[in-house]
Structure formats: C-alpha cells, structure tokens
Amino acid sequence: MTQQTERSPGAAGGGQPAPFPGGVFRSGDAPARLTIGTPLAENQQITITARMERGGWLRLYTGRGREHIGFGLTLDEAPLLHTVYTDPIGTQRQRTLHPAGEARPNLGWTDLLLDWQAHYDALAAAHSIRQRRVRLTLQLRGKLCRFLLDGRLLHEWIPTEDLYGARPVVELDPGCEVQPPEITSLPPADPLHEPIDLSAAYNASGLAGEALDPASLPRGTEFAVGGVPFVVGAAARPGCDNLDIGLSWFREGNLTGYEEPHRGSFGGRWTGFAAGNPSRFQFPVPRRPITALHLLAAAEERPDSIPRVTAQFFRPGAGFPKNFSSPEVPLATAAAESAPAWPVRTASGRTLHLWKVTIPVEPGLLHELEDLDIIEVELTKDVQVYRAYPDPNHYSGYAAGLPSSVRVFAMTAESAPVAIRFDPEVLGNIWVESSPSYLVTARNLTGHPADVALTLRTVSHDGRSGRAGAGTSRQRHAARALRP
C-alpha cells in the first residue's frame, strides 16, 4: 500500500514551481510543481480535476507553511483513495475511501445478493477510479476554509489572515494528468443554509420515463427554489443526473448468521460514505443546529412503492441514528401551483417539476453529535428496527419495507438562527448537595444582533408536576452563557 509521507513545499521536482499551463498537463515520469497565478481570497473556490494513471499523490499547498490538502491513489486489486489535510506546522488528518465499495462474500449470501454484487462490480469496472477524474476543491467562504473531494466535505478549519493573498502550488507525482484549475468567485455565505453536493452518489438519469434537457438544470452554481439555495454538483459519473432513492437497500438485513457490525460483508453498518457502499446514500454534513433538510425532488408513478424519503443522521463508525421523514413528495407530472418547484424540460420538450420538499429536523436530537465537526446523513426509504441474529445486542434502525419512488437532485441543510447548548453544571445530571442548575449557551449565527427569549420548562416523569422560568438576552456574534 502506498503510504502518505509528509514533504515540505518544493520537495517534488525541486526548484521554483512552473506556471500552470493553459491546457491539460501530464507529469509523465517525473514529479512536477505548478503555481496557480490567482492569489487566495475570501469567497473563492479553487478546483483541481485530475486523473492518475498509476498510484501517487496530488497536493495543493496554500502557501501557509506546510499546509496542504491532497489525495492519493493505491492501485491494488481493490483500489483505495487516500485523503490528507496537513496544517501549517505539519499535523495531519488522513482518511481512506473505498471508491468501488467493499464486499466479502460468504456462504450466507443468497443468490439475490450475489447477483446484485455482480451488478455493482460491473458498474465499478465501467467507471474505474483508474480512469475517472477526481475533483479536489479548496473553498474559502464565510470565514471558513474547506477541503472537498468530488463535492464531499472532508475537513473545515478557520484560516488566519496570512492565508489570503498567497498563491497556491500544486504538486504532482509521476503519471498524473491535471486540467487547468477552475477558479470561481462565490457569493457571500448564507449563514443559515448549507447546500450539500449529492452528485458523486447519482445513480440514475431522466425522470418519469424521459431523458432531461441538461440546459434546464443549472450545474455548479446556486439557484433558489422557494427561498432556499440549491446546488447541483459536477461530480456525477457519465449518464447520471439524479439520485434514485428506490435503490437504497440495507443488504445486511438479508443475511443470516453473525455479521460483524463494524466490518462485516459490506464494510460495516455505520462506516459512512467512506465505505463507498453503492446501496446506501450517505453524505458528510457540517455539524450545525440543523432544523430542516430541503430536497429538490420529485416522485414517479411506480407500483408497490412509497413517495417518501427518510433522512437518517448518524455518528460515523458508531451509528446512534436519528430519523426524520419527509411528507409525501409530489409527482414530477403534478401541476406547479401545489408547492414551490423548479421546471425542467425533457428531451421531447415536455415540462416536469422538481419540488422543494422539506424534512423537519429536531436539532435537540442531534445534541449527542456535538463533539463532531462533521456528521453524516443517509437518504433512504422508511426505517424499521433491525436486530442481529443470534446476538440481539446488535440492533439499530435501518431501511426496510417498500422502496421509495423519489428521485432527488439536490439537498440543502437549514440551521436555526441561534445555536443552543444545554449542559448540566454537574457531571451526569446528578446533584447531591446542591440545587439542579444548567448552563445554556446561546450563539447567534445570523451575523446581526438578535433578542433571544429563553424559556425553561421542567415536567416530572408522571407529568403531574412541573415548573417554568424565562430569561432574555441580547445576542450579537459571540456566544453568551445564561443560567435559567
């Protein structure tokens, strides 16, 4: 396996970096260093699209010490994609992704599972990571710096002022083909709406039995439906333009015998998007006080199906899912007067509609994920309780029942204008010699001052007694602690 090794800027190729050429650049048999002529600035996005003919690395240095983002490829029998973020003093964060998914067949697999795995293997071979172009993105927006790969968020951090004005440098290992950088000016960040790029998971094309006119749906730029900004990404494999939730499938539910929960036949039940599981549609989301997920979606007329989507938030590697279901999604052929919609044309000239569908989220239920910078959400059909056999201690909630008839094109997370933390002032909510007290921390996310009215209501377990209290705070940008 190729190992990630830390290098200082200039280690590849030696000497001063060359300017980025105007067309496609191939590093050949030697490493190379190329300078991006545009300096880094606020509300800017730089995307490097590359393909690797052999194992190796591509790194984008920001100009702040040793800080860089990058990805590498290991071309073993099962190709692996590695990612790295290195801060200015050299501390690294690494991940390993499985672009072709994981599968370990055993005697417990049914013929159905084997047939579907052959189908997934054929899809992976047709769109091999050896031939596919990977999109590495550095985004500076809203006082945050982000590292994305194929539109999926891997890391975010707060930059210092010395980052702005620096000219990035791209380092390429031998055998790398890279296109000219895409440098995009972004509108100022919306503090309450976070578009999530779904395009890397697209698995279907067309809608209501017809192909869509690509010009009728903007790609790579924000557009609003019903006051909510959406983005349709550019990482989809050829021929795909949406996500068919009807193909969501918890395959472990069809297995008999003991199935290891953290590894198992398909890489683990809660590994997340890094496992590359083609039957589960999981996406990294920055941890915020999320109050809603907005989908740009439409349902199709299918027998034995349901026009709903479930959003399942979870802790990567552990689970603890929190499930929120959508209302029924209108048909693509329904009249546009019923809800906010985006019209799309088919290849035959017919007009269909993509609807803004809102999944309400209770942010308090996501409080136990507060220690994470990035959480994950899975889009699936209805969810039921799953219990492993023969050990019922391994249980959770997973997709089950009739398939969904919904196609999803884009998703945006909406946050509350004020983030609230509610913490006991003693460990474990247990008071021995003092009165119960909690510390409430309110943080204004809107960018302008706001009055916050806090009401605390307690109710006994039997519902017969309780008490309430209230307080008011003037919030600007920083957090403030209140004791109700």
The mean per-residue pLDDT over the stretch 84-90 comes to: 94
Query: Do 33 and 137 belong to one domain?
Result: yes
What mean pLDDT comes out for the span 410-434? 88
| Percentages of the chain per state (helix, strand, coil), in multiples of 5 | 10, 40, 50
Domain boundary among 161, 185, 209: 185
Binning pLDDT at 50, 70 and 90, where does residue 15 land?
A: low
Instruction: Please give the average per-residue pLDDT across 82-94, as a whole number.
Output: 95
Strands 32-35 and 18-19: parallel
Query: 278 and 377: one domain?
Result: yes
Question: Residue 124 belongs to a domain with what CATH number?
Answer: 2.60.120.200
Task: Quote the pLDDT of residue 169.
Answer: 96
* Candidate from 152-166, 224-238, 240-254, 461-475 with smallest mean pLDDT: 461-475
| Tens digit of each residue's pLDDT (9 = 90 or more) over 340-363 | 999 999 999 999 999 999 999 999
9 pLDDT band, cuts 50/70/90, is very low
**353 DSSP β-pair partners:** 343
Whether 80 and 225 map to the same domain: the answer is no
Residue 466: its pLDDT value, please?
Answer: 75
Do residue 228 and residue 302 come from a single domain?
A: yes
Structural domain that includes position 56: 1-185
Q: b/e map of 430-466 (b: 16 or more CB within 10 Å)? A: eeeeeeeebebebebbeeeeeebebeeeeeeeeeeee
Beta strands in 381-465 (DSSP E): 383-387, 395-399, 406-415, 418-424, 438-444, 450-459
Q: What does each C-alpha distance from 432 to 426, 427, 464 come to in angstroms?
A: 10, 11, 24
Per-residue pLDDT at 423: 82
Angle at the Cα of 90 (from 84 to 93), degrees rounded to 5?
30
Average pLDDT of 53-76?
A: 92
Do 175 and 194 sit in the same domain of this protein? Answer: no
Start-to-end CA span in the chain (Å): 55
pLDDT of residue 166: 92
Amino acid at 102: E
Tokens of 448: 């302008």
Tell me the C-alpha distance between 68 and 81, whole Å.
17
Of 410, 403, 399, 304, which Cα lies nearest the Cα of 357?
A: 410
Number of domains forming the structure of the chain? 3
User: What is the structure's pLDDT at 473?
Assistant: 61
User: Residue 420's beta-bridge partner residues?
Assistant: 442
Average pLDDT over residues 284-296: 96
Lowest mean pLDDT segment, chosen from 121-135, 254-268, 376-390:
254-268
Q: State which of 382, 401, 416 marks the end of a domain.
A: 416
Of the candidates 277, 306, 312, 276, the one whose C-alpha atom is nearest the C-alpha of residue 293 is 312
Same-domain status, 426 and 395: no
Cα 151 from Cα 235, distance rounded (Å):
7
Are both 396 and 440 inside the same structural domain? Answer: no
Residue 87 and residue 222 in one domain:
no
Return the pLDDT at 2: 39
On the CB side of 224, how many CA atoms lie within 13 Å of its CA? 5
Statement to judge: residues 174 and 291 lie in one domain:
no
Asked whether residue 290 falls in the same domain as residue 375, the answer is yes
SS3 assignment, position 246: helix
pLDDT of residue 387: 81
pLDDT in tens, 457-484: 778 888 887 777 666 665 555 445 545 4
What CA–CA distance (Å, rounded) separates 367 from 2? 38
Which of the listed ranges 306-310, 387-391, 464-468, 470-474 does the model predict with the highest average pLDDT? 306-310
Domain boundary pick from 130, 157, 185 = 185
203, 332: one domain: yes
pLDDT for the residue numbered 456 = 78
User: Is 399 found in the same domain as 251?
Assistant: yes
pLDDT, position 443? 86
